[in-house]
Structure 1
């Protein structure tokens, strides 16, 4: 092996894949609350084979689901690949066939015309189905108990976002798609609604100001907001050997606002200076205005510039965007909410799309502009008080997930679960916290015999 060969950071350390599918009973330290019953499901990229691309991107790996099943104070663990058509085709041939993130320049002819979905970004429960999601394909159903792959849910007729929002009152799942159309990396987008019964009741297409990676979006009780930010997509750029997605700040930043019950032709495009948002915390409407609390970056991290040169390091901080629906200006007002670098913000799911008080997120206490998150934060937006649980020894946390103590408990009354990588031991633990007493540390820790690779998102499903 060439001693000067570059090691892809997304294939090393705790980004490296775990290719075994296992079932473990975990040793618990402390006491799992007896009221906490169900499973924390997490998902992330986990390439089945060595990728074809020298510049393999983290976002392009095959999806693997990690389930932590909690009952009667005990915890068991199970992980399984999402056996998409891509996974099955490559498994049949015993090697990678698809280029990273569908790059046609590095895709084997054997894979041309076949679905390249990886279902690696989010996993959630809706209408009696456990759905593995990514940004360019339809939801993929997994068995909630065995994690057996059950296949794509086809009624969506096109790609669906990895970040739908579930209205806590109606049970509807509101979602979008981007890159919609006959050509890859187009500026086409879709707005869709799935009823509480799992039936798709709406899908409408529209054109964004330009092609962009629209990772997430915002929903309120009556409105939906589409952020089109200058992490741009370009088929022409990809076909010339340059990055399919790249940072182009000169394009500006736009957020389209529309009533949920209106036609897509009514979208009003608000604007802001160039920035990027992977994840909002939550959004709501009040007195003719929409408020969105988002984790905002000055530049898009993890992606290069349009000429292929490396992108700048960046970290996100929580800010509040205000959209004045009755005002003449289309400018987005912005104000800071926190001075700590962070990502993966979450609220109590019972207040999603409505005004919230509490938020939790993974944080970097050193403000070091890195995606490594060494702390879990709780922010009380009513009092302004922030609590922090700091990890040590290079340990890093996943997205913290809130679970209510009961269906009728007050907002924020419950538990937070997170998977933490123990760097010194090269393995992982499941941590359980009292949600409003994060600084006290975990009330229980379930020890894993091996690591869970860094992933993206997870959700709790109560049984």
Structure 2
């Protein structure tokens, strides 16, 4: 690893890759509920070779980490997602692709550069590794063996599809669609409960933007287009492919799920950025979305290449009045704790929720990530938190229902936590509505799970 690579913050500490693929039992402290029978899958960037600089965290090769739970025991397994990019670089024994197209190896030209590193979920009997620039990538749920891209999607797909808990449909979108990369083209799509892709429509956004996530209600879909802009021309000049341009403002396109993209109505609000919503729902002629809103886009520079400002996120509620004449979005702050990775009980997605969980940060100097796990009860307004030890950092918390018929929020919360002082990771399991009490069980890994993005529970 050369000097430049060692200085890259995305290749040090718990961002640094773990390149072995392992399979072992994990000792459990406390009592893991025997009703937990399934697997928590997490995914994140994990470059198999020292990357070509400049390197950004978002562009490392995907690795899936599986925590398989049954009869109070935990078994861990991790595997690389064997994308065409990973296999080509493995064949040649070095990194070939680069986020700066001028620095890529000629062997990378005309080859797929997908990394499948952002989300992993179960739908239609398939475990899918997702990354918004390419097709979903199928893996075996039990062995994590790679099976290849799902070409039936006919193009790239978001890493954040929404699964309707009533119909079983998977609703999704894509951005940067069209013959030229980094374009304003977008797609709206639907996959039936059995995994069959039944719809894909294309439309144009107000401008080219990184559209990381979106919102879905029982009858509507909402596409946020916010000023983390995309520009191939800028990238070819040596500038950032994605950059913050607040003067462009923010838009959210709203359409009916049973409608056509030609009917999209564009609402607007002040410049800001949302990586992840908590959930969205509808009541009469109004739509509501609870989202983690940043004042500026984090982790990205300004359009002139200068460093971006410090970003602060808060949970806010967007209100869209479909019957009103105004296209303005009403914005209300509903929680003042800085946070990210908001989640709800998956059985309430697309419908109004009572309970929500997220990773939070109460101390800016305590860890290079999130040091707190928070639970919000929207019926009572009560917030409770579990604060980690100094130097520790949590992943996105994932809710698991106690049973299929349990009331909303009745179950467990799982989170993978990096123990900074020991440079290793634990899996924590909480009673979901009593996180302040601390975990009821801790699965203690002998090694690190590098910082990643998202995960989901899959019953076995």
Report the TM-score, using the length of structure 1 for normalisation: 0.98
Which residue of structure 1 lines up, in the alignment, with residue 26 of structure 2?
26
**Contact 1:340–1:367 (8 Å) recurs in 2:** no
Which residue of structure 2 lines up, in the alignment, with residue 8 of structure 1?
8
Which residue of structure 1 lines up, in the alignment, with residue 395 of structure 2?
398
Which residue of structure 2 lines up, in the alignment, with residue 165 of structure 1?
162
**Contact 2:243–2:302 (8 Å) recurs in 1:** yes
**Within 1, Cα distance between the matches of 2:110 and 2:4?**
36
**Within 2, Cα distance between the matches of 1:4 and 1:233?**
26
Which residue of structure 2 lines up, in the alignment, with residue 223 of structure 1?
220
Q: 1:280 to 1:369 in 2, by over 3 A?
A: farther
**Within 2, Cα distance between the matches of 1:397 and 1:372?**
7
Which residue of structure 2 lines up, in the alignment, with residue 372 of structure 1?
369
**Within 2, Cα distance between the matches of 1:3 and 1:89?**
25
Matches of residues 133-148 of structure 1 in structure 2 within 5 Å? 133-148=130-145
Which residue of structure 2 lines up, in the alignment, with residue 352 of structure 1?
349
For 1:185, which of 172, 182, 191 is the aligned residue? Answer: 182
Which residue of structure 2 lines up, in the alignment, with residue 195 of structure 1?
192
**Within 1, Cα distance between the matches of 2:387 and 2:66?**
25
Tell me the alpha carbon deviations over residues 164-185 of structure 1, each in whole angstroms, 9 at most, x when there is no partner. 0000000000000000000010
1:76 aligns with 2:68: no
Tell me the alpha carbon deviations over residues 288-311 of structure 1, each in whole angstroms, 9 at most, x when there is no partner. 100000000000000001011111
1:61 aligns with 2:49: no
**Contact 1:161–1:175 (8 Å) recurs in 2:** yes
User: What's the CA shift for 1:5?
Assistant: 8.4
Matches of residues 225-374 of structure 1 in structure 2 within 5 Å? 225-366=222-363, 372-374=369-371
**Within 1, Cα distance between the matches of 2:103 and 2:67?**
36
Which residue of structure 1 lines up, in the alignment, with residue 98 of structure 2?
99
User: What's the CA shift for 1:2?
Assistant: 8.9
**Within 2, Cα distance between the matches of 1:370 and 1:257?**
38
Report the TM-score, using the length of structure 2 for normalisation: 0.98
**Within 1, Cα distance between the matches of 2:5 and 2:105?**
23
Secondary structure, counterpart of 1:105 in structure 2: coil
User: What's the CA shift for 1:371?
Assistant: 6.1
Q: Which runs of 5+ in 2 are unaligned?
A: none
**Contact 1:226–1:255 (8 Å) recurs in 2:** yes
Which residue of structure 2 lines up, in the alignment, with residue 385 of structure 1?
382
Tell me the alpha carbon deviations over residues 396-428 of structure 1, each in whole angstroms, 9 at most, x when there is no partner. 000000000000000000000000000000000
Which residue of structure 2 lines up, in the alignment, with residue 39 of structure 1?
39
Tell me the alpha carbon deviations over residues 342-372 of structure 1, each in whole angstroms, 9 at most, x when there is no partner. 0000000000000000000000013679861
Q: 1:423 to 1:371 in 2, by over 3 A?
A: closer
Tell me the alpha carbon deviations over residues 38-89 of structure 1, each in whole angstroms, 9 at most, x when there is no partner. 0000000000101112x21000000000000000000010000000000000
**Within 2, Cα distance between the matches of 1:179 and 1:275?**
20
**Contact 1:315–1:371 (8 Å) recurs in 2:** no
Secondary structure, counterpart of 1:355 in structure 2: coil
Secondary structure, counterpart of 2:247 in structure 1: helix
Tell me the alpha carbon deviations over residues 313-366 of structure 1, each in whole angstroms, 9 at most, x when there is no partner. 112110000000000000000001101000000000000000000000000013
1:52 aligns with 2:52: yes
The runs of at least 4 consecutive aligned structure 1 residues that moved more than 2 Å come to 1-6, 366-371
User: What's the CA shift for 1:3?
Assistant: 7.7
For 2:205, which of 204, 208, 212 is the aligned residue? Answer: 208
1:85 aligns with 2:84: yes
Secondary structure, counterpart of 1:78 in structure 2: strand
Secondary structure, counterpart of 2:152 in structure 1: helix
Secondary structure, counterpart of 2:176 in structure 1: strand
**Contact 2:208–2:230 (8 Å) recurs in 1:** yes
The Cα RMSD (Å) is 1.4
**Within 1, Cα distance between the matches of 2:366 and 2:439?**
26
Q: Which runs of 5+ in 1 are unaligned?
A: none
**Within 1, Cα distance between the matches of 2:50 and 2:268?**
41
Q: 1:4 to 1:190 in 2, by over 3 A?
A: closer
**Within 2, Cα distance between the matches of 1:132 and 1:201?**
20
Which residue of structure 2 lines up, in the alignment, with residue 129 of structure 1?
126
Q: 1:2 to 1:70 in 2, by over 3 A?
A: closer
